[in-house]
């Protein structure tokens, strides 16, 4: 008889009436080191992966199996253990920690799956879940799994429980976004609309790691990407010209308007310590590094100021781009860490996105304009983009239900930047939206998703112009300065370049 099954039979258990053919064993060291599916039969069965069936339900191949998630409350998981799990399985592991404490889920597939588990007792709405229910071990495991998913892009649904903190601070007063009647502008469709319908994939470049950030050089000859280090590519040939900071996880990069200065937000170790690095590309030298300043960067359009976030004490810090001298320190409502930053074309308004909030700053007046509050987090795929003309703000994920459909995760929200009103939620993606970009002329919006597509919209009319397919999990996207080329970076390390005729 299989030794593992024999151990299960010897351990005490309580039968569950609703599932008489299923047993839940108490955790043993075998389950802690080698979590397996618990079999109802006496046959020797291998481990299995979950899948989403044609009805949108999460199942294992054999429905007589229930996975034993109790080990996640018993010992600390290591990142090295997670490589064999699929994106869907990782989502289940992370959310099961909350489900074991009775949390409900807004994603129907997750809620239906946990509802089918014999141990699940739904008690708390997502917004009311007491984060301090998690033990130190459980919180460690949530953070470790999430960090691994963000690093590798292995996220299937995304979910509103991605980051829950122990003993959270009382939420400050915030402006919660409210749906507004969609407003149409007088902007006419340009010829580029038709051109984007005919956009062609002109090049695919293979990188060696997930492409977390991507930006065109204003010279239109090179492309800068980041992930494990920074890479500078020749756009014409697809050849790599230079690598920087190869030993670091580089979360974001920004270029000055003249293309001569590069800034990067870096995570330096497994404890999420951060550092900012700045290089003079023309002189091929490092200018300076700043420890603890965050791992998200934006350079103002005039090339004078570097904005960084989020440090342990301040939402945003502003630095002299050339010298690294600190100019301003701004404290807003955002906590924990920044996941995305964006600035308007005149350099006056800066958006800083985080796990559950978005701070909007007038950086010239050093004034916090407003804070938008979101329910839960999708980790590093919580992104924001501001239009160059200062009219629009685009976000991924929102806490809203539009037309009876939960928009969280699979929709893109367009906001009136000046008033904070929601203009419209654009739907169509079937999985998590991981990246957004607005063209420099403020006419077009691109959204990249884990469903393997990029959707291009007219930002003013909200018309869907084109769906680019076979894009991989597009976790970063960027328009070229002339608005005619789009680059995407995927979790499998592929860089794809599309161009209009």
Domains and CATH numbers, the chain: 3-152 (1.20.58.1690)
d(CA 388, CA 442) in angstroms, rounded, equals 6
The answer, yes or no, to whether residue 434 has pLDDT greater than 80, is yes
pLDDT recorded at residue 34: 27
What is the DSSP code string of 23-58?
--PPP-HHHHHS--EEPSSSS-------EE-TTS-E
pLDDT tens, residue by residue, 69-124: 888 988 999 988 898 888 888 888 988 999 999 998 877 788 888 888 888 899 88
Interior angle at CA 201, CA 441 and CA 195, nearest 5:
45
**pLDDT of 164 strictly over 60:** no
Nearest-Å Rg of the Cα atoms of the chain is 23
- Return the higher-pLDDT residue of 224 and 420: 224
State the average pLDDT over residues 55-62: 70
Q: In this model, does residue 167 exceed pLDDT 50?
A: no
| d(C-alpha 65, C-alpha 47), whole Å | 10
pLDDT of residue 369: 93
Closest CA to 219 of 178, 255, 176: 255
Q: Tell me the per-residue pLDDT of 234-284, one tens digit each, with 9 for 90 and over.
A: 999 999 999 998 778 999 999 999 999 999 999 887 777 889 999 999 888
CA-nearest of 171, 172, 181, 173 to 419 is: 181
Residue 83 confidence (pLDDT): 87
Lowest mean pLDDT, pick from 162-171, 241-250, 484-493? 162-171
pLDDT for 57: 76
pLDDT of residue 497: 96
268, two tokens: 């330096």
Helix or strand run (H / E) with residue 8: helix 3-10
Angle at the Cα of 102 from the Cα atoms of 97 and 107, rounded to 5 degrees: 75
pLDDT for residue 379: 54
Residue pair 310/338 in contact by the 8 Å Cβ criterion: yes
Q: Residue 38 pLDDT > 90, yes or no?
A: no
Contacts of 435 (CB under 8 A, 6+ apart): 381, 383, 396, 447, 448, 474, 475, 476, 477, 488
Residue by residue, DSSP assigns 140-205 as: HHHHHHHHHHHHHT--SS--TTS---SSPPPPPP-B---B-------PPPPHHHHHHHT-EEEEEE
Question: Is the per-residue pLDDT at 162 higher than 80?
Answer: no
| Nearest to 273, CA basis, from 250, 291, 251 | 291
Question: Taking residues 133-140, what's their average pLDDT?
Answer: 87
Give tens-digit pLDDT for 354-369: 877 889 999 989 899 9
d(CA 153, CA 474): 9
Sign of the Cα pseudo-torsion (399, 403, 406, 407, in order): negative
Q: How confident is the model at residue 320 (pLDDT cuts 50, 70, 90)?
A: very high
Q: What is the pLDDT of residues 442-479, one digit of tens each?
A: 999 999 998 899 999 999 999 999 999 999 999 999 99
Q: What percent of the chain has pLDDT over 90?
A: 39
Which pLDDT tens digit goes with each residue over 377-403? 555 568 899 999 999 999 986 544 344
State residue 410's pLDDT score. 61
Strand order in the sheet with 338-343: 338-343, 349-354, 357-362, 367-373
pLDDT of residue 240: 93
Tell me how far apart the 2 most distant CA atoms of the chain are, in Å: 75
Q: Calculate mean pLDDT across residues 487-493.
A: 94
Q: pLDDT at position 19, please?
A: 30
Q: What is the pLDDT of residue 27?
A: 28
Mean pLDDT of the chain: 78
- 328-338: pLDDT as tens digits: 998 888 766 78
Residue 313 has pLDDT above 50, yes or no: yes
- Dump strand ranges (E) for 47-123: 51-52, 58-59, 66-67
Long-range contacts formed by 107-115: CB under 8 A, 24+ apart: 107/157, 107/159, 107/160, 107/406, 107/408, 107/409, 108/56, 108/406, 109/52, 109/56, 109/57, 109/58, 109/157, 110/58, 110/157, 110/159, 112/57, 112/58, 113/57, 113/58
Q: Are 435 and 453 in contact (CB under 8 A)?
A: no
């Amino acid at each position: 008889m299989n030794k593992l099954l024999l151990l299960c039979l010897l351990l005490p258990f309580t039968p569950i009436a609703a599932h008489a053919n299923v047993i839940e064993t108490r955790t043993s060291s075998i389950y802690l080191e080698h979590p397996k599916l618990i079999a109802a039969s006496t046959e020797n069965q291998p481990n299995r992966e979950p899948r989403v069936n044609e009805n949108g339900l999460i199942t294992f191949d054999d429905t007589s199996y229930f996975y034993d998630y109790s080990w996640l409350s018993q010992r600390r998981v290591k990142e090295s253990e997670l490589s064999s799990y699929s994106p869907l399985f990782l989502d289940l592991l992370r959310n099961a920690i909350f489900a074991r404490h009775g949390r409900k889920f807004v994603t129907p597939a997750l809620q239906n799956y946990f509802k089918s588990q014999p141990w699940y007792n739904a008690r708390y709405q997502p917004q009311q879940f007491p984060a301090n229910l998690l033990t130190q071990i459980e919180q460690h495991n949530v953070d470790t799994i999430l960090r691994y998913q963000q690093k590798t892009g292995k996220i299937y649904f995304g979910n509103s429980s991605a980051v829950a903190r122990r003993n959270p601070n009382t939420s400050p007063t915030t402006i919660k976004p409210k749906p507004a009647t969609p407003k149409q502008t007088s902007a006419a469709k340009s010829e580029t609309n038709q051109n984007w319908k005919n956009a062609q994939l002109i090049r695919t470049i293979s990188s060696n790691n997930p492409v977390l950030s991507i930006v065109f050089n204003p010279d239109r000859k090179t492309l800068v990407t980041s992930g494990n280090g920074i890479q500078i590519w020749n756009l014409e040939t697809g050849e790599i010209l230079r690598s920087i900071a190869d030993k670091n996880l580089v979360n974001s990069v920004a270029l000055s308007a003249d293309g001569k200065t590069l800034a990067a937000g870096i995570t330096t170790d497994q404890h999420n310590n951060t550092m900012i690095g700045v290089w003079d590309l023309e002189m091929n030298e490092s200018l300076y590094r700043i420890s603890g300043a965050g791992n998200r960067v934006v350079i103002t359009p005039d090339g004078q100021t570097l904005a960084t976030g989020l440090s342990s004490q301040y939402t945003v810090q502003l630095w002299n781009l050339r010298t690294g001298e600190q100019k301003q320190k701004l404290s807003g409502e955002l906590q924990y860490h920044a996941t995305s930053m964006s600035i308007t074309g005149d350099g006056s308004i800066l958006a800083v996105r985080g796990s559950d909030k978005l701070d909007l700053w007038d950086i010239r007046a050093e004034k916090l304009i407003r804070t938008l509050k979101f329910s839960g987090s999708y980790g590093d795929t919580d992104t924001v983009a501001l239009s160059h003309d200062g009219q629009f703000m685009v976000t991924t994920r929102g806490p809203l239900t539009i037309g009876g459909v939960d928009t969280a995760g699979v929709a893109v929200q367009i906001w009136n930047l000046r008033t904070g009103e929601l203009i419209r939620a654009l739907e169509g993606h079937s999985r998590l939206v991981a990246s957004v970009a607005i063209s420099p002329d403020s006419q077009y919006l691109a959204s990249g998703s884990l469903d393997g597509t990029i959707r291009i919209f007219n930002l003013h009319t909200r018309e869907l112009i084109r769906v680019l397919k076979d894009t991989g999990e597009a976790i970063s996207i960027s328009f070229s300065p002339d608005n005619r080329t789009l680059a995407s970076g995927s979790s499998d390390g592929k860089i794809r370049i599309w161009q209009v005729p």
